[in-house]
Amino acid sequence: MRNTHWRLTLIAATLLFSWASTAASASPESAGVDQTGPGPVPFDAFHPDRETPVTPAYGGRAVVHLSSLPEGLNRAIENSAVSNWMLYELHDRLVLQNWETWEIEPSLCKSWDTDDQVVLSEGAAAKYQAATKIGPEGNQRSILYGKVSESGDGFDVVSVGNTTHIPKSDVAALERGTVFTFHLPDNVHWHDGHLFDADDVLFSWEVYNNPEVDCDEVRFSYQKILDAQAIDKTTVRFFYESQYFKALESCGDLCILPRHLYDLNDPDNKKHDPETHAHYGTGHEFTLAELGDYINDNPHNTAWVGLGPYRVSNWDSKFVEAERFEGYHAPEGSGYLDRIVWRHIQNDDSSFLALVNGELDFFARVRSEDYFGEGTASEAFTQNYYKGYFYTGTYGYVGWNTLRAQLKDPSVRKALCHAFDWDGYLESNYFGLGKRVTGPQNYFGVAYNHDVKPMAYDPELAEEMLAEAGWYDRDGDEIIDKDGIAFEIEFLYPSGNKASETIGLSLQEAYEKLGVKLEMRNLEWSSFLERMLERNFDAVNLAWVPPLESDPEQLWHSKWGKPELKSSNMCGVMDTKIDELIERGQKELDTEVRSGIWWELHRYLHDELQPYMFGVNTPRKFAMNKKLRGFQAFKIAPGYSIRRWYFPSGTPGTRPSIEKN
């Protein structure tokens, strides 16, 4: 069925405190914080002048805080949430989930078709003129695809107006919704002026089939695609091997790379990188390793050339600067600001100081002490900024390395959860504003199992469980031990992350009472990620930013838990029941039935395995320059859209229309 949608121009906790600045605050209801489903989201809900109408103007810049600087923007090899958020402004995708309706809509593509796939039995292909062979060598199949309906003793396949009847004896499998054909515009240009076409899309998928590309964290999603074809310059088609509930979102969200800059085999690449081609010499046949290294180490991973309304003009250790791209293919959705500057400040305290000093326009990591205290009540703040908060599905967690001797026993991991007072932590650090989380799905999505309740704080039970598992103090040094191994673990967290530091210190205090020694270790972001992906840690503190419904495979399936892989399953989870639930859920296209499977997985992870100590879903407490308008708080991360922000008409340096004089 052809999709003809076109571009369209929280549960809040009970507040147990008084607002520091009532006039600058909005109720959770008016701010949309209570909103748990799709629907319109109010503008400027926390702005002190929200009742005063203003007219948007074009121009100006916004300086937005970055707590961590991604290594690049190529999402094939950079799986950070930050890079994904930046790409909302710097790039485009085939489809996008609408911020407010939550519907999947065309973005870069004009439209798409979704078809079913009939896999023919061996030897049956010769009977059908419309049969197509797809798949790589060793995994090929003959299929017919189109709209498939049951008819008598078989199936009718309707494709391009023609109907083919296939008896069931010729059918090996029927895979619903597994063929996607995207129709592309013919006038879209990359930021360097090169014409975008279907070959760029095809190449971007082929990247994941090269084992030398460092994309193990996300490779799983694109290996489900059995084949892909560039039908012509404006048409690309994907064939999934089997039914997959996120098939459209997955291929539609592909990070499209400019083939002329990333593919050594592209005829135009030689024009853009003559030095590399001169190094290899004329007629050289590139190996997979050479092709993979060229993608992994490509300078355009930071000197980004994309398809979005803003193009990168500068990238260094402190700033990523972007300016309006005049050639953006959809000017009606290109945004109001002329420039966006992402400023990297790792330390949260330093970031808030930079905000108050006028060096930031938006900061979404305001500490509770500042949000509820003098920091946001001072005249220096209130003259120029206002504060607010919003929820997304983000949740914090402590991940346990299940391959470590101290942490391999699930009963030990459950004991560590019972030993920590999460409710007390929430009250003292977030004034009760937040939600306990018990599983890996988005708290606001249908796949989250709200029937699973957090483990109770019970340090006595924790001590008993550890002793039953063989962990008690045998040598009188006040540290429990087993088989000659002391229960000493390292808590790894990113430098400058005050929230991680606070949770680590709280865990350290709680575990010391049990005879567990927890050592704090902070590392700058790239070193932190490297150790985490290499599984060189005991405990790690981080947060996931799941979509409204996520595929659990990358976090929990055994195929990604092997020690030699750098994957998101860094805890090394390998469990056959989990694998079975994931594989069953992935193939289920009925949302209600699939949600039931995810609920079962949720309960099993929390009640039986505890590979994570699931933490809290806390609101993002932000501060924003009063001069900026157009802020909306969405449930889809990052929770806002910069291109919707603007300065009111009459602001110096702005103009009434997108065209510059």
Q: Tell the residue number behind the tokens 């391959």, with chain if given.
A: 403
pLDDT of residue 6: 28
Q: What is the pTM of this model?
A: 0.85
- Model confidence over 13-65: pLDDT tens digits? 222 222 223 233 445 445 556 667 889 999 999 999 999 999 999 999 999 99
Sequence length of the chain is 661
pLDDT of residue 34: 61
Q: What's the CA gap between 352 and 557, in Å, rounded?
A: 40
Asked whether the predicted pLDDT for residue 480 surpasses 90, the reply is: yes
Nearest to 147 by CA among 196, 109, 181: 181
DSSP state letter for 455: P
The residue among 445 and 605 whose pLDDT is bigger is 605
- Model confidence over 559-568: pLDDT tens digits? 999 888 888 9
Mean pLDDT of all residues in 230-235 = 98
Cis peptide before 638 (omega within 30 of 0): yes
Question: Considering the domain 189-301 in this protein, what is its CATH number?
Answer: 3.90.76.10
Fold of 10-92+304-392+622-652: D-Maltodextrin-Binding Protein; domain 2 (3.40.190)
pLDDT of residue 431: 83
Asked whether the predicted pLDDT for residue 520 surpasses 70, the reply is: yes
pLDDT of residue 46: 96
**Mean pLDDT over each residue of the chain, to the nearest integer:** 92
Question: Among 9-13, 54-58, 371-375, which stretch is predicted with the lowest mean pLDDT?
Answer: 9-13
- Model confidence over 172-229: pLDDT tens digits? 999 999 999 999 999 999 999 999 999 999 999 999 999 999 998 889 889 999 999 9
pLDDT of residue 5: 30
List C-alpha distances in Å: 242 to 1, 36, 493, 495, 607: 18, 32, 39, 43, 31
pLDDT of residue 141: 97
pLDDT tier at 72, thresholds 50, 70, 90 = very high
Q: Are 36 and 11 in contact (CB under 8 A)?
A: yes
Asked whether the predicted pLDDT for residue 9 surpasses 60, the reply is: no
Cβ atoms < 10 Å from Cβ of 149: 11
475 burial (CB, 10 Å; 0-12 / 13-18 / 19+) is: exposed
Residue 487 corresponds to which tokens in the numbers above? 């229960």
Task: Please tell me if the domain spanning 111-182 has the same topology as the one spanning 396-617.
Answer: no
Name the residue ranges covered by the structural domains of the chain: 10-92+304-392+622-652, 111-182, 189-301, 396-617
In angstroms and rounded to an integer, the radius of gyration of the C-alpha atoms of the chain is 26
Q: Which residue type occupies 311?
A: R
Question: Considering the domain 111-182 in this protein, what is its CATH number?
Answer: 2.30.30
In sequence order, which residues have a C-beta less than 8 Å from that of residue 558 and are 6 or more positions away? 573, 574, 575, 576, 578, 579
pLDDT of residue 27: 52
Q: Are 517 and 488 in contact (CB under 8 A)?
A: yes
pLDDT of residue 24: 36
Fold of 396-617: Dipeptide-binding Protein; domain 3 (3.10.105)
Nearest to 34 by CA among 649, 444, 597: 444
Q: Are 561 and 567 in contact (CB under 8 A)?
A: yes
Asked whether the predicted pLDDT for residue 545 surpasses 80, the reply is: yes
Nearest to 486 by CA among 469, 473, 498, 503: 473
pLDDT tier at 504, thresholds 50, 70, 90 = very high
Residue 410 corresponds to which tokens in the numbers above? 């699930």
In 443-453, which positions are buried (b, 16+ CB within 10 angstroms) versus exposed (e)? bbbebbbeebe
Secondary structure element (H or E) that encloses residue 424, with its range: helix 422-430
The share of the chain scoring above pLDDT 70, in percent, equals 95
pLDDT of residue 31: 57
pLDDT of residue 4: 32
